Each structure stands twice: as structure tokens, then as C-alpha cells.
Amino acid sequence: QVQLVESGGGLVQPGGSLRLSCGVSGIIFSAYAMNWHRQAPGKQRELVASITTGGSTNYADSAKGRFTISRDNAKNTVYLQMNSLKPEDTAVYYCNVRYRGFDTWGQGTLVTVSS
């Protein structure tokens, strides 16, 4: 059973920063690519960032240059460092892994960017 638990969300002012964490259990963490998605109110869930087993990263255009995804295999944890936050970054952020061909999701953590 794969389990993902996000943390680190909260309220932040525009231009501020947050670091999200996702603890993973039930898999050999180092063997899987990890992803962060987000879902804003009334919108579809979208991929924000991904990181491969080798540490290569990809970002949505909206996140490029501001967000950094990283992983700590010793802690079975994936992170999303978010800088220069904008109100349009407000969303529930979800950790994701594709395990045995199926997407597994955490419960999400809410990020609100507002003054």
C-alpha cells in the first residue's frame, strides 16, 4: 500500500516562500519518479513539477524559475520549494507517484497566497 502525506502549506503573502514536503511509504522510494500537482478552485488538477529517480527535473511554465522540486531518498521525502509566490499559485498541492501504472495521491496541502 502506497501512502503519501503532504505538509507545509499555509497562508503566505505575495512574493513570499513556502516549502512543501511529502513523506512516502509503501514503496522503494528511490526507484520512482515523483510529482507535484495542484488544483485551484474551479480548475483542473495540473502538473507543477516532477523529478526522476536520477534527479532530473521538469516544471510547468507557470512554475519555472520560481519553484524547485527535490528529493531526499534517505528520508523517503520529496519537496517543493516555492519562491516569489503569486496569488494565482493558490491551490491545494498534491504529491503524486505512478506506481504499477496507476497514480497514487496524497490528501493535499492548501497553499493560499494573499495579502
pLDDT tens readout for residues 44-100: 999 999 999 999 999 999 999 999 999 999 999 999 999 999 999 999 999 999 999
The DSSP secondary-structure symbol of 107 reads -
| DSSP state, residue 54 | T
Tally Cβ neighbours within 10 Å of residue 32.
19
| pLDDT of res. 69 | 98
Encode pLDDT of 26-56 as tens digits: 999 999 999 999 999 999 999 999 999 999 9
Neighbours of 54 (CB within 10 A): 6
Task: Show the CA angle centred on residue 111, arms to residues 105 and 115, nearest 5°.
Answer: 170
**What's the pLDDT score for residue 64?**
97
Amino acid at 90: T
Report the pLDDT value the prediction gives residue 40, as an integer from 0 to 100.
97
Torsion of the alpha carbons at 38, 83, 18 and 99, rounded to the nearest 10: 40
Instruction: Kindly indicate the confidence band of residue 15, based on its pLDDT and cuts at 50, 70 and 90.
Output: very high
